[in-house]
Amino acid sequence: MTIYSHSRLENFKNCPLKYKFNYIDKIKREEEGIEAFLGSRFHKVMEKIYKDLPFRKYSLDELLEKHRGSGLAI
């Protein structure tokens, strides 16, 4: 069963060949773009911060210090 979503239809409209590679042939790119890389890093850092810290309000300095010590800093 084919799944249709707004993003899939938009991908097809922009480039049918890219759509075919991604959704029909299921060919994955070997490298990710800078946006995906930074987005993944950001989400990993936020997940670690919120998982490890008790719930309370933190200052920007405290969050930055936690990020530096997380091993995920860029």
- Are residues 24 and 46 located together in one domain of the fold? no
Q: Is 17 within a domain?
A: yes
- Are residues 24 and 41 located together in one domain of the fold? no
- Are residues 39 and 64 located together in one domain of the fold? yes
- Are residues 42 and 18 located together in one domain of the fold? no
Confirm if 7 and 14 have CB atoms less than 8 A apart: no
pTM: 0.38
pLDDT tens figures, 5-63: 888 899 899 999 989 998 889 888 777 788 888 998 889 888 887 787 677 787 889 88
Confirm if 66 and 49 have CB atoms less than 8 A apart: yes
Please list, residue by residue across 49-58, b when 16 or more beta carbons sit within 10 angstroms of its beta carbon and e when fewer do.
Answer: beeeeeeeee
- Looking at the structure of the chain, the number of domains it has is 2
Q: Is 73 within a domain?
A: no
